[in-house]
């Protein structure tokens, strides 16, 4: 038995140092990697054309008979051409191969080949350069599909095919199936060997579909498996019990009464924190439902019981806003609190870190608020009690492992504003206790949503003025300045790139470049204060602008999606989304949630910038936004429109994809929600019986491979 993980590609004949490096550049090191280096497309060579019906733009399949004996012409030192002619029913064509004189014997006069290549025309001649060629015998016809691999420099299609073929020979004997037979049988799946063979060398459309189904199933199955096994470990640790959960002093300081849902959530949290076992809870609730106050209560409880708390936000803006909102309340409660972001000076950072670790209680900092980036590396606590992660749309297996590893002895609370479909919630948060805030604070109104196009521009300007004249504030969101240079902190930009890509090809919309747009708007709306924030601004400038906006000094804020997450400005009453067709449903929903946070009647206007060429999916998204106001319903719709692979790769788990730890290789092209559900169920059922996968080691190995995680995280 060989272990294909341990056999380097360089062990294959024809793969030397240079080729091995080329493979490494494509992320392929072992034979196992090679087998999972799936084709990016397939050529269908069954559509055979006559020479005269071909077009030089695309490759065609041709059935040609060799007419002349191949001749080798030596043109320069070390350079040769092999030439011969071949014909179909109507025309003749000249075929040339470069530096492949050894092919001379392959093409005897009168033999028939299926050629595949680009036919060029020169005057009245047809030319075919270095086409693929397969002998054509009526009885044994060559396979219909040919794999097309993504190439890196130094690799050819042919090379990869040959190497994969060789690897498959070994795999036949030594590749254990990561799914046990009972699962394969129950879910009607082929073996892994068959799947890999057919994905690389399909013998028919049906067999290719069978193979793909199996491999997609695996991706979902191991995604679910790795997620559940990475969470399982936290339970063994202990955390400080916080038994004093009287928050009445805090409640007195709030200008409002808690909603029923908030009360329930806070009492869930208090009950968890009173235990010696670490809390591991997620609070899910639509934007604006009031999650922050639940976090506040949790931090208060931790500090009240003598421990420290940290609140991590995904962006500087959000961390700063939390600090500004919460620190006055903390102050009244006699709780010390600091803000830790990249704009804090090094000296102050050091001071904060010292205060966090101070053994002396009077000098010790109780609460620190900051960005995830800063808090997740290098902050030590003298008396760790609670870690809260806010706006966790980007919750992946790695973050999860990090959290539980680093904060072995703290309670952990995660807050998510991304309503996710039930089927996914079960997998992603199945092992976390969940509190759902399904009730909005009183007095909230529906944010009426309209879809308009360029012809409404003038009326839209008028509407902006009307809102501002009435004391309201306006957000205008444009797609990123330059898509290719997205900022990390910007949530869901990957999603925009996705739709963007498909739209650029199909619809080529004019993009509102945010900078230019802000300038033009300032001219059109002379006398109003317009400001601009984008992802590439310095954090300090961005924060200053955001603060001015939230204090009402700025009336109209043009931005890229940096405002998407969490920002709270109660007087904002109009959200305009330019090129709305480029945003995904969950982004649009998040953006709409920025307005309607106060008592003012609020609106969301989606501007379709595609000039009438709206794709079906985009149309469906925008209509959904106008008709649907419930985040969970929108999430279900999003899953339906995008399909599970895309949905997972780009919304709930963008971090997984970004960190490269999970590539939904084939699943990202899967539109079938059924198969995802089956795979999730299968994983759950299996782990119930064998949680550590000890009965089937290949399964454990596959789960680890998908997440490229070390064995000590999954155990």
Residue 306 interface partner, choices ligand ADP, Mg ion, none, CB cut-off 5-8 Å depending on type: none
Residue 379 interface partner, choices Mg ion, ligand ADP, none, CB cut-off 5-8 Å depending on type: none
Candidates 125, 139, 143, 178; CA nearest to 45 is 143
Tally Cβ neighbours within 10 Å of residue 25: 12
In the complex, minimum distance from the CB of residue 418 to ligand ADP, in angstroms, rounded to a whole number: 11
Residue 102 interface partner, choices ligand ADP, Mg ion, none, CB cut-off 5-8 Å depending on type: none
In the complex, minimum distance from the CB of residue 394 to Mg ion, in angstroms, rounded to a whole number: 14
* Beta carbon nearer to Mg ion, 12 or 326: 326
Distance linking the first and last C-alpha atoms of the chain? 25
Which residue minimizes CB distance to ligand ADP?
290
Largest CA distance in the chain: 97
* Secondary structure class of 174 (helix, strand, coil): helix
* Beta carbon nearer to ligand ADP, 417 or 476: 417
Binding mask 518-557 for Mg ion (x = CB under 5 A): ----------------------------------------
* Beta carbon nearer to Mg ion, 131 or 566: 566
Q: Which two tokens stand for residue 651?
A: 């919304």
* Beta carbon nearer to Mg ion, 293 or 706: 293
Residue 587 interface partner, choices ligand ADP, Mg ion, none, CB cut-off 5-8 Å depending on type: none
In the complex, minimum distance from the CB of residue 572 to ligand ADP, in angstroms, rounded to a whole number: 11
Tally Cβ neighbours within 10 Å of residue 579: 22
For residues 586-645, which are near Mg ion according to CB under 5 A? none
Strand-pairing partners, residue 437, are 285
Which bin fits 110, alpha (ψ -120 to 50), beta or left (φ > 0)? left
Residues with Cβ < 8 Å from 671, sequence gap 6 or more? 643, 644, 645
Candidates 58, 53, 48, 57; CA nearest to 114 is 48
Q: Which two tokens stand for residue 119?
A: 């036919």
In the complex, minimum distance from the CB of residue 319 to Mg ion, in angstroms, rounded to a whole number: 11
The distance from CA 91 to its chain's CA centroid, rounded to whole angstroms, is 51
CA distance linking residue 510 with residue 609, whole number of Å: 7
Residue 441 interface partner, choices Mg ion, ligand ADP, none, CB cut-off 5-8 Å depending on type: ligand ADP
Residue 70 interface partner, choices Mg ion, ligand ADP, none, CB cut-off 5-8 Å depending on type: none
* Beta carbon nearer to ligand ADP, 311 or 702: 311
Residue 287 interface partner, choices ligand ADP, Mg ion, none, CB cut-off 5-8 Å depending on type: ligand ADP
Q: In Å, what is the CA distance from 342 to each residue of 5, 105, 402? A: 41, 68, 21
* Secondary structure class of 283 (helix, strand, coil): strand
* Beta carbon nearer to Mg ion, 397 or 588: 588
Tally Cβ neighbours within 10 Å of residue 209: 12
Task: Mark out the alpha helices in 507-604 (DSSP H runs).
Answer: 514-524, 539-550, 585-592
In the complex, minimum distance from the CB of residue 257 to ligand ADP, in angstroms, rounded to a whole number: 6
Residue 285 interface partner, choices ligand ADP, Mg ion, none, CB cut-off 5-8 Å depending on type: ligand ADP
In the complex, minimum distance from the CB of residue 400 to Mg ion, in angstroms, rounded to a whole number: 20
* Segment near Mg ion (CB under 5 A); pick from 157-165, 350-358, 361-369, 561-569: 561-569
Instruction: Give, in degrees to the nearest 5, the angle at Cα 565 between 564 and 567.
Output: 95
- Asked whether the beta carbons of 216 and 38 are under 8 A apart, the reply is no
Strands (E), 307-453: 308-313, 337-340, 367-371, 384-389, 411-416, 433-437, 448-453
The single residue among 566, 593, 596, 631 that binds Mg ion, judged by CB under 5 A, is 566
In the complex, minimum distance from the CB of residue 469 to ligand ADP, in angstroms, rounded to a whole number: 24
In the complex, minimum distance from the CB of residue 323 to Mg ion, in angstroms, rounded to a whole number: 13
In the complex, minimum distance from the CB of residue 372 to Mg ion, in angstroms, rounded to a whole number: 14
In the complex, minimum distance from the CB of residue 448 to Mg ion, in angstroms, rounded to a whole number: 23
User: What's the burial of 549, exposed, middle or buried (CB within 10 Å: 0-12/13-18/19+)?
Assistant: buried
Residue 411 interface partner, choices Mg ion, ligand ADP, none, CB cut-off 5-8 Å depending on type: none
CA distance linking residue 108 with residue 344, whole number of Å: 77
**Total binding residues toward Mg ion, as defined by CB under 5 A:** 1
CA distance linking residue 542 with residue 316, whole number of Å: 9
CA distance linking residue 576 with residue 375, whole number of Å: 34
Residue 290 interface partner, choices ligand ADP, Mg ion, none, CB cut-off 5-8 Å depending on type: ligand ADP
* Beta carbon nearer to ligand ADP, 290 or 314: 290
Which bin fits 374, alpha (ψ -120 to 50), beta or left (φ > 0)? alpha
* Segment near Mg ion (CB under 5 A); pick from 309-317, 496-504, 556-564, 566-574: 566-574
Residue 214 interface partner, choices ligand ADP, Mg ion, none, CB cut-off 5-8 Å depending on type: none
* Beta carbon nearer to ligand ADP, 258 or 383: 258
In the complex, minimum distance from the CB of residue 566 to ligand ADP, in angstroms, rounded to a whole number: 6
* Segment near Mg ion (CB under 5 A); pick from 196-204, 205-213, 336-344, 563-571: 563-571
* Beta carbon nearer to ligand ADP, 117 or 566: 566
Instruction: Name the site residues for ligand ADP (rule: CB under 6 A).
Output: 256, 258-259, 262, 285, 287-293, 417, 441, 566, 568, 570, 597
Tally Cβ neighbours within 10 Å of residue 528: 16
* Secondary structure class of 225 (helix, strand, coil): helix
In the complex, minimum distance from the CB of residue 312 to ligand ADP, in angstroms, rounded to a whole number: 14
Name the residues that contact Mg ion, by CB under 5 A.
566
């Amino acid at each position: 038995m060989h272990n294909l993980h341990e056999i380097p590609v360089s062990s294959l004949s024809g793969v030397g140092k240079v080729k091995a490096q080329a493979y490494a550049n494509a992320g392929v090191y072992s034979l196992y990697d090679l087998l999972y280096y799936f084709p990016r497309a397939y050529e269908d060579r069954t559509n055979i054309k006559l020479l005269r019906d071909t077009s030089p733009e695309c490759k065609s399949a041709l059935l040609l008979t060799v007419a002349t004996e191949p001749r080798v012409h030596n043109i320069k030192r070390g350079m040769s051409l092999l030439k011969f002619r071949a014909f179909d029913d109507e025309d003749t064509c000249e075929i040339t191969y470069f530096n492949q004189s050894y092919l001379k014997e392959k093409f005897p006069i009168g033999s028939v080949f299926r050629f595949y290549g680009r036919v060029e025309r020169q005057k009245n001649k047809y030319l075919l350069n270095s086409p693929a060629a397969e002998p054509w015998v009526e009885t044994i016809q060559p396979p219909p599909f040919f794999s097309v691999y993504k190439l890196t420099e130094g690799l050819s299609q042919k090379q990869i095919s040959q190497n994969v073929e060789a690897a498959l020979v070994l795999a036949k004997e030594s590749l254990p199936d990561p799914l046990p037979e009972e699962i394969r049988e129950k879910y009607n799946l082929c073996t892994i060997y068959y799947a890999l063979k057919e994905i690389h060398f399909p013998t028919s459309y049906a067999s290719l579909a069978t193979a793909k189904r199996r491999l997609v199933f695996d991706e979902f199955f191991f995604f679910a498996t790795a997620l559940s096994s990475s969470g399982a470990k936290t339970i063994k640790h202990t955390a400080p019990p916080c038994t004093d959960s009287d928050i009445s002093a805090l409640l007195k300081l709030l200008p409002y009464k808690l909603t029923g849902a908030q009360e329930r959530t806070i009492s869930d949290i208090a009950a968890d924190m009173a235990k010696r076992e670490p809390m591991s809870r997620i609070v899910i609730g639509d934007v604006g439902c009031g999650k922050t106050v639940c976090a506040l209560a949790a931090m208060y409880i931790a500090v009240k019981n003598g421990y420290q708390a940290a609140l991590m936000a995904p962006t500087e803006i959000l961390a700063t806003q939390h600090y500004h909102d919460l620190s006055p309340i903390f102050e009244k409660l006699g709780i010390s609190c600091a803000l830790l972001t990249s704009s804090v000076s090094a000296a102050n950072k050091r001071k904060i870190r010292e205060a966090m670790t101070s053994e002396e209680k009077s000098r010790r900092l109780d609460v620190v608020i900051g960005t995830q980036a800063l808090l997740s590396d290098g902050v030590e606590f003298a008396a760790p009690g609670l870690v809260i992660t806010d706006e966790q749309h980007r919750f992946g297996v790695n973050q999860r492992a990090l959290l539980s590893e680093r904060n072995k002895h703290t309670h952990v609370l995660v807050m998510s504003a991304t309503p996710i479909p039930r089927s996914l919630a079960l997998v992603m948060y199945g092992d976390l206790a969940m509190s759902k805030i399904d009730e909005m604070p009183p007095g909230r109104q529906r944010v009426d949503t309209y879809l308009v196009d360029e012809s409404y521009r003038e009326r839209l300007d008028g509407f902006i003025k009307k809102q501002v004249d009435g004391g309201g504030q306006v957000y205008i969101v444009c797609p990123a300045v330059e898509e290719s240079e997205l900022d990390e902190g910007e949530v869901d930009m990957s999603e925009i790139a996705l739709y963007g890509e498909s739209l650029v090809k199909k619809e080529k919309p004019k993009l509102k470049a945010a900078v230019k747009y802000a300038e033009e708007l300032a001219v059109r709306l002379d006398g109003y204060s317009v400001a601009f924030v984008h992802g590439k601004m310095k954090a300090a400038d961005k924060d200053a602008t955001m603060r001015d906006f939230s204090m009402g000094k700025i009336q109209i804020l043009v931005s890229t999606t940096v405002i998407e997450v969490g920002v709270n400005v109660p007087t904002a009453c109009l959200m305009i989304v330019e090129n709305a067709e480029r945003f995904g449903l969950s982004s649009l929903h998040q953006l709409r949630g920025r307005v309607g946070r106060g008592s003012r009647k609020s609106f969301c206007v989606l501007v379709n910038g595609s000039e009438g060429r709206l794709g079906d999916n985009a149309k469906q998204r925008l209509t959904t936004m106008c008709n649907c106001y419930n985040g969970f319903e929108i999430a279900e719709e999003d899953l339906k429109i995008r399909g599970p692979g895309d949905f997972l790769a780009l919304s709930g788990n963008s971090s997984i994809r970004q960190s490269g730890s999970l590539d939904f290789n084939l699943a990202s092209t899967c539109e079938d929600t059924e198969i995802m559900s089956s795979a999730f169920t299968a994983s759950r059922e299996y782990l119930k019986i064998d949680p550590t996968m000890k009965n089937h080691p290949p399964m454990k190995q596959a789960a680890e491979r998908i997440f490229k995680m070390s064995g000590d995280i999954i155990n």
